[in-house]
Structure 1
Amino acid sequence: MTMPGLPADDRESSPVTGYSRAHWETAADLLLRAAWRWATPRGALLGLPGRPSVSGVRSDGLEGYARTFLAAAFRVAGAAGEDPHGWLGRYAEGLAAGTRTPGRDDAESWPLILDHHVQGQPMVESASVALGLRLTRPWLWDRLDADVQDRAEEWLRGALRHVPAPNNWYLFPYTVAGFLESVGRGDARTAGVRERALGLLEGWYRGQGWYADGDGRAFDHYNGWALHLYPVLDAHLAGAGTTAYGARLREHLESFSLLFGADGAPVHFGRSLTYRFAAGSAVALGAVTGHTPLTPGTSRRLMSGALRYFLVRGAVDENGLLSAGWHGPHAATLQRYSGPASPYWASKAFVGLLAPADHPLWTAREEAAPSERSDRVLALPAPGLLVQSTRADGIVRLHNHGSDHVRPHEGESAAEDDPLYGRQAYSTRTGPTAAGNVADNHLGLVVGGARSVRRRIQPMGAGGGNGWGWAASWHRPVFTAGPPMVPGLRVESVTVVRGCHELRVHRVVGAPPGAVVEQTGWATGPEEPLRSVLLPLHGWSGRDEVRAPRGTAFTAWARVPRLTAEAAGTAVYACLATLTGEPEPASPGSPASPASPASSAGVVGDVVAGADAVEVRWAEDGSMTRVAFEPFGVEHLTDGGG
């Protein structure tokens, strides 16, 4: 099943996805046509059906206008002003109506832009309005009456006068200021806002092309669809040429391009995942601006693969609207700020249409995605991530030893389970189990009947090479019931990967008497062509499988393999986890009993463990991996040598 109304597949130029530039233009038109059925009489608000966000229905209506305007702007600007469906006329009338009496509770007026903690969402939407106006200036802004231009400026300036959230939000007034300067309406305030945003961005840059989303350690898809997109696109529209931001985007795409599976799916990790194919916006922007290490054929394969992935899996509902979720509707994928029009930040992916029809992005033949070419392992010490992809099944796995969603002013015990950041691993074929169900890919403790969650993640390093890699971190277990923390309790974790296998080694320090330690594996559904295996290597005494009735974004309910052991004091635990989609995967073997080491069948040979270290011999080639905690170090030795 695909989105009704799209052209027939073009397998000559796009042998993998079948999508051409015509598919992107048509997809934009179809999404816009469906959304405009829900517009107010003059088009200032697009109040799409669905559960309102915490910001209320008027803000949600503005969100519908702003985010769809962004798609229309990329569509028309990319066609050099050709607007066969008259989109810009509708948005011009909506702009005039929405800014006539802002803040009034009537049928058309836009809400005022205030501080983020008072009425924040309009500031987010101001960036899409400003960017849309900048992209379409010759055909929309320059044709507006002077009083409408003045009213629009006054409304937009609310973003310059008020306080953003302490993260990527600072790029919203930055974008507004960039538009105002581009139309000759800049001043000291616009200059100051832009300087402030870029200064913060410098502090958030952590290397290897990755920004933290604020002063903490949140690394996720906001890198592509916000932290790179706004400054790089701003420089491109200003004709600034090569900038530090463009160079960082190029470096970011070196690793980020590996985070798409062979089926086109981006890794299911981090917040705002309902933006779906917006994950491809950084890839498209790199191709448009030239700030990319990817060939045009690879870029189109990635961005079109993501678009097709969602369109054929039910992301568009029976009304032609993007639903709030992942494939289809999925409540656990959403945040409190998610509303019916939130998914339309996916419009950012249409930035690729700024490349004209004769651009290599559209004329080059599609090439394989990085995850389709060979098995890959990539360690990223800056964000504390480890990427593992396997060609045979096209699955990409992301091992998280550095990204959390704990803001600097929050204590570690401010604490609910955060499935979108707190798990050890994520992939393009599995989603985390919902809060309240058993946590997948988690090392936790049970103390007095209360289970721990992983909140603030402290990276310990990452590295590797030649087909293997590792990443490590530590955290203080936080309990959501009873006392929030156990004094002195600490978990140190290391993931070592090769092929489709993951060696997971943990040292639990300071476990109180009576505690139980649990390790879970990948969550999969009963009808999925996936195999999730979790085998004990050292320290475990129990092995079973538990269910997650709320399932994941990929399956209605899930099963999760689990290992358990009694814990007291300090101890080391090791296991082998495997997620594979191969039709007949090589079995890692079944131990004779839950307490015995996993011996087998071509994966793990000898396992030697001490109080502070574990050595594992890999049966395939006799190489050995050693993980030590005192002093900390990870080694992979081949043929008995280095």
Structure 2
Amino acid sequence: MASTAADPAQTGLVLGYNGVHPFAKVSITDRSSVQDLLRTLLDPLEPFFSPLKARVRCPGATAVRFDQTASEVEGLCRPLWGLACLLAGGGDYRGTQWWIDGIRAGTDPDGPEFWGFPRDNDQRMVEMCPLGYALAVAPGIWGGLDERERGNVEAWLGNSINEKNMPNTNWLWFRVFANLGLKKQGGKFSQERLDADIEHLNTFYRGDGWSNDGPEGIHQMDYYSSSFAIHFLQLLYAKLAGGDEPERAEEFKRRAQMAALDLAHYYDEEGRSIPFGRSVGYRFAMVSFWGALAYAGVELPAPLTWGMVKGIVLRHLRWWQTQHDMWSPSGTLTIGYSYPNMYMAENYNSPGSPYWACLAFICLAVPETHPFWTSSEESHWTVIPKIKALKQPGHIMSNLGGHCMLLSSGQACSYPMKGTHAKYGAFAYSSSYAYSVPPGLFTLEQYALASQLGLSDDGGEYWKTRRLSTSQLISRGDDNNKTPVLESLWTPFPDVQIKTYLLPPTPKTPNYHLRVHRIAAGRTVLTADGAFAISNERTPDGRYLDLYDAAKGEGTRPKLIGNYDASTPEAWASGAEGAFAVSKGAVGIRALEGSELRSATLVNADPNSNLVESRTTIPTLQGEVAAGQTVWFVSAIYAKPSGPGVKREEYLSGWEGVPEVPAWLREEMGV
């Protein structure tokens, strides 16, 4: 559908009290409607272009680890992912000329809005990737420049990046696309550098379709391994360069086919992805892999169908349409997830950074005759297993109990990222109950230990959690009933060693998973074992939850007490009784072994610690392990989310059906 003249309600968009973004109003049914959805993202950027259009200063005067100019280059180039995909698929946009003018001005070394040539490891290198892709697939951009201006683009995009050092990560793909974009338009580029980068990137490949985001010694397989960068760009490369390099293209497609059967487990029936790892502020980019499969002409592996792939993508976009708080008052994307949140932000998240989300619109470059568009939407959960162990990322995936969940061990970011222990070191991640990050580093309320075990040697002021660990996937049980189990070894203090086992839900107890810790303490430590975080707002008025009332179908047990009087007896229960909270579904935790050493309570987490819910509480088991003591803690973690067909009175229906401690574990524990 051709775009119309500028709509004043959108170009001057102001989201006031109860304002609803145009993004939420699009009825997503087909390719044309997804084109319209993209336009609602691009329109609000118009007032924030610089005079010559080379920079976009998105609202939010927050600093990042790179300079302000690079931040504003992000603001221009990241939305280009969406625009380029729209144009590549034959669509149009009223503001296309803004980007052509911006590229012209930004690459002019004599102009007032010149972007500046990149230095080593410069953020500008990242933004060269969408620019390179746009040049490759949207000829009108290159065609809109004269000979001198094309030379400027060649100098900025090709020559400068080929001479500089880059991080030994997925960034190398960005240089590949800088060269590829020039190559596709007959510009000056380096085939030698392009080939060398791809060959080095191939050393990140670990098998089963999975690539690591870095060399040996790093275990980081998050959405960068799939939708944000590596698989996504491999598939784009296979499409654009496959005619000249058929063997390389086929290898990239083969990896994607294998990975697809694993990655399908990260998306639930309601369209949500499991938030895991860094950069989840890129939001709907988490489904980019699936559109790229169609774009690259990959033959889907059985039993997946194009209707299932289409369903993953469109349901995901529809879920984001329900997240009304993720916008600035002027209609631009904010730093955050379901709402603006700087606590979760990485030090590279500028106000323009969230527009990496536009990768999701690669599906618009897919022809309307492709079965991705012509198929009816289907659910992939009718054909893939409910429990699956994934060797490469070190995950056990589950879709029992009303949500998609992954159990995780062994992953860690290679550098000291803010909240890295929460983004990679938590034990469980859920599509319904997002992870929480620490808004401060003083007491449990600020650490917000959702799905984490914290240990303190100073009486509870500062807490250490799992960050670095060695791990392995094992299989336990008798020959007729084998269960995948994750084992990890970690050392929060030099003289405190912990072995943790993670066991997935079973059909018999679908709302529980088991978490087991063997703690050998060389010093006295307090422990805090947290369940999932859940919304801490009662239905009538949004105030904090009261004591559980079965008639109302919400509340907590024991009583939720404020941050400053948690020593009140009514705030505690025995470890065996456990603690739970009921609001948007129910979450809880109870001790199966080691219950005499632990008590249950509700931690009133600091606001804005969770990615999805701004006010949360975390059912938690707390106890002490004395110096010289070795103990076993076995915790059963409960989760039953709200959702279609789930009645409020059913939220706690599985709470009393506590899982048994497996015989093999009892034998190892000696009980």
TM over 0.5: yes
Q: 1:563 aligns with which of 617, 621, 636?
A: 621
State whether structure 2 residue 78 is matched by structure 1 residue 63: no
- 2:584 is equivalent to residue 575 of structure 1: no
Q: Contact 1:98–1:110 at 8 Å: present in 2 too? A: yes
Which of 569, 579, 584 is matched with 1:529 structurally? 584
* 1:553-587 deviation digits (Å, cap 9, x = unpaired): 22222111122333243322212111111430454
| Correspondences of 1:26-65 after superposition (within 5 Å) | 26-54=36-64, 55-65=66-76
2:364 — aligned with what? 353
Instruction: Tell me what 2:558 maps to.
Output: none
Residues 24, 322 of structure 2: 8 Å contact kept = no
Show the counterpart of 2:115. 110
Residue 432 of structure 2: aligned partner = 429
**Is 1:400 aligned to residue 408 of structure 2?**
yes
Instruction: List alignment gaps of at least 5 residues for structure 1.
Output: 10-17, 479-484, 590-600, 616-625, 631-642
Once the two structures are superposed, what CA deviation does each residue of 1:350-400 show, in whole Å capped at 9, x if it has no partner? Answer: 111111122211111111242x7787111112110111113x63x111111
**Which residue of 2 is the match for residue 637 of structure 1?**
none
CA distance in 2, matches of 1:155, 1:316: 33
Residue in structure 1 matching 2:354, options 343, 354, 357: 343
Q: 1:4 maps to which residue?
A: 22
| Alignment correspondent of 1:334 | 345
Q: Aligned pair 1:206/2:234, yes or no? A: no
Unaligned runs of 5+ in 2: 1-18, 441-445, 538-582
Deviation of 1:265 after TM superposition, in Å, equals 1.4
The equivalent residue for 1:15 is: none
State the 1:469 CA deviation. 4.3
- CA 1:434–1:5 in structure 2 vs 1: closer, same or farther (change >3 Å)? closer
Q: Assess, with a 3 A threshold, how the Cα gap between structure 1 residues 363 and 463 changes in structure 2: closer, same or farther.
A: farther
CA distance in 2, matches of 1:109, 1:571: 62
Residues 128-168 of structure 1: per-residue CA shift (max 9 Å, x gap): 1111111112x221342111111001001222111112211
- Assess if the C-alpha contact under 8 Å between 2:512 and 2:659 holds in 1: no
Quick one: distance in 1 between partners of 2:116 and 2:62?
Answer: 15
Would you say the 8 A contact 2:59–2:332 is kept in 1?
A: no
Matched, 1:159 2:164: no
TM-score after normalising by structure 2: 0.79
Q: Determine whether 1:92 maps to 2:100.
A: yes
2:500–2:515 Cα contact (<8 Å) kept: no
Distance 1:230 1:607, change over 3 A: closer
Cα 1:129–1:464 shift into 2, 3 Å:
farther
Work out the CA distance in 1 between the residues paired with 2:661 and 2:313. Answer: 44
1:243 and 1:374 map into 2 onto residues whose CA distance is: 25
Write the distance in 1 (CA, Å) between the matches of 2:269 and 2:481. 19
**3-state SS in 2 of match to 1:217:** coil
User: Going by fraction, where is strand more abundant, 1 or 2?
Assistant: 1
The residue correspondences of 1:380-399 to structure 2 (distance < 5 A) are 380-390=390-400, 393=402, 395-399=403-407
Pair 22,469 (structure 1): closer, same or farther in 2 beyond 3 Å: farther
- Does 1:476 find its partner at 2:490? yes
Label 1:8 to 1:73 Cα distance change in 2 as closer, same or farther (>3 A).
closer
Moved more, 374-383 or 350-359: 374-383
| Alpha-carbon separation, structure 2, partners of 1:471 and 1:359 | 40
1:132 is paired with a residue of what secondary structure?
A: helix
Matches within 5 A, 1:108-507: 108-116=113-121, 120-137=122-139, 139-157=140-158, 158-185=160-187, 190-215=190-215, 216-223=218-225, 224-240=227-243, 242-291=249-298, 292-293=300-301, 294-314=304-324, 315-370=326-381, 376-390=386-400, 393=402, 395-407=403-415, 418-435=421-438, 436=440, 437=446, 438-449=448-459, 450-463=462-475, 469-478=483-492, 485-487=493-495, 489-498=497-506, 499-507=510-518
State the partner residue of 1:598: none
Separation in structure 1 between the aligned mates of residue 631 and residue 495 of structure 2, nearest angstrom: 17
Change (3 A) 1:245 1:186: farther
Instruction: Please report how far the alpha carbon of residue 84 of structure 1 lies from its aligned counterpart in structure 2 after TM superposition.
Output: 5.2
- The whole-number CA distance in structure 2 between the counterparts of 1:78 and 1:629 is 60
Q: Is the 8 A contact 1:548 1:560 kept in 2?
A: yes
Note the C-alpha offset of 1:415.
Answer: 9.2
Give the match's secondary structure for 2:376. Answer: coil
CA distance in 2, matches of 1:221, 1:377: 20
The CA deviation at 1:417 is: 5.7
What per-residue deviation string (whole Å, max 9, x for no partner) do you get for residues 486-529 of structure 1? 236343333333223201112123x1242233321111112441
Aligned-partner SS, 1:423: coil
Q: Separation in 2 of the partners of 1:505 and 1:125? A: 44
1: CA distance, partners of 2:633 / 2:531: 14
CA distance in 2, matches of 1:539, 1:45: 59
C-alpha displacement of 1:195: 2.8
8 Å CA contact 2:386–2:399 kept in 1: the answer is yes
CA distance in 2, matches of 1:309, 1:282: 17
Which residue of the partner structure matches residue 543 of structure 1?
600
Q: Which residue in the other structure is 1:553 paired with?
A: 611
Amino acid at match of 2:92: D
Q: CA deviation at 1:416?
A: 6.6
Cα RMSD, aligned residues only: 2.7
> 1:516 is matched with which residue: 498, 512, 526?
526
Q: TM-score, normalised by structure 1?
A: 0.83
CA distance in 2, matches of 1:61, 1:606: 55
SS in 2 for 1:192: helix
2:3 corresponds to which residue?
A: none
Contact 1:469/1:497 (8 A) holds in 2:
no
What whole-Å deviation, never above 9, does each CA across 1:386-433 have from its counterpart, x for those lacking one?
11113x63x1111111321135xx8xxx99763211211111122222
Q: Which amino acid aligns with 1:96?
A: R
Offset of residue 8 of structure 1: 5.9
Equivalent residue for 2:88, pick from 53, 65, 77: 77
Q: Give how far 1:197 is off.
A: 2.4
- Where 1:225 maps in the other structure, the secondary structure is coil
* Matched residue, 1:635: none
Per-residue Cα deviation, 1:216-248 (whole angstroms, up to 9, x for no partner): 111111112201111220120123455211111
Change beyond 3 A, Cα 1:90–1:500: same
What secondary structure is seen at the aligned counterpart in 1 of 2:504? strand
Distance 1:457 1:428, change over 3 A: same
CA contact (8 A) 2:62 2:350 kept: yes
Q: Which residue of 2 aligns with 1:13?
A: none
Are the aligned partners of 2:427 and 2:502 in contact in 1 as well (CA < 8 Å)? no
State percent identity of aligned pairs: 24
The structure-2 alpha-carbon separation of the partners of 1:606 and 1:133, relative to structure 1 and needing over 3 Å to count, comes to: closer
